[in-house]
Amino acid sequence: MIRERLRPLASQAKRAYVQLMLDVVGRSLEAISQVDDEVRGEVAVLPDGFLFSMQVMPKGPALFIRKQRDGSLQYLGGGVAQRPDLSIQFKHLHHAFLVLSFQEKTAQSFANDRMLVDGDLGYAVRMTRVLNRLETFILPRLVASRAVKEYPDNLGLPEKVFSAARIYLKVAMNFVDTVRSS
């Protein structure tokens, strides 16, 4: 009886968490593309105006990112009318929750057929590398090693802390700018 009453609340909480995490990831992707040379190199190959999305099927939470002419990424929020050039789609909210709560690695989720990739495979590999690099910087090592396929051995603590601080600062400034604009 109680379980039946709590189920909708649990689903709403998962949805809110996934939406929040996609918002944080989107803003963080924008930030890392402005501060990290390795990410800028990965993004440089993408065509200007390239549109990337990550979303929950069929009309769940989403993030949209566009590559700018200056080589950086711009977070567009949760909805764009244009069809993305590359889309990573979670088949169910629970699948997105598993990945975004770091209970399942992205590669494992893909292997378990919990997500679809629609678009050029080469671009998908690039965006996965960008996402993995982002996660290694902004997450504690213990959590990041659960999230990415392989944690880089050559990432020292000073570089991680300095890069994470720059990314977090840009994300915080982005949130402030968004609040001011509203």
Domains of the chain (ranges plus CATH)? 13-174 (3.30.1050.10)
152-179 pLDDT per residue, tens: 888 888 888 888 888 888 888 887 877 7
Q: In this predicted structure, what is the pLDDT of residue 182?
A: 65
Sheet containing 62-67: give its strands across.
Answer: 73-77, 62-67, 51-56, 86-90, 115-119
pLDDT band at 110 (very low <50, low <70, confident <90, very high): confident
Structure tokens at 116: 């679809």
Residue 114: strand, helix, or coil: coil
- Nearest in space to 73 (alpha carbons), one of 126, 119, 151: 126
Q: What is the pLDDT of residues 39-66, one digit of tens each?
A: 999 999 999 999 999 999 988 999 999 9
In angstroms, the CA 62 to CA 114 distance is 16
Report how far residue 38's alpha carbon sits from residue 159's, in angstroms, rounded to the nearest whole number.
Answer: 13
Q: Is the pLDDT of residue 120 over 70?
A: yes
Mean pLDDT, residues 14-23 taken together = 94
Q: Is the distance from CB of 137 to CB of 163 less than 8 angstroms?
A: yes
Q: Is 39 exposed, middle or buried (0-12, 13-18, 19+ CB in 10 A)?
A: buried
More confident site: 142 or 131: 131
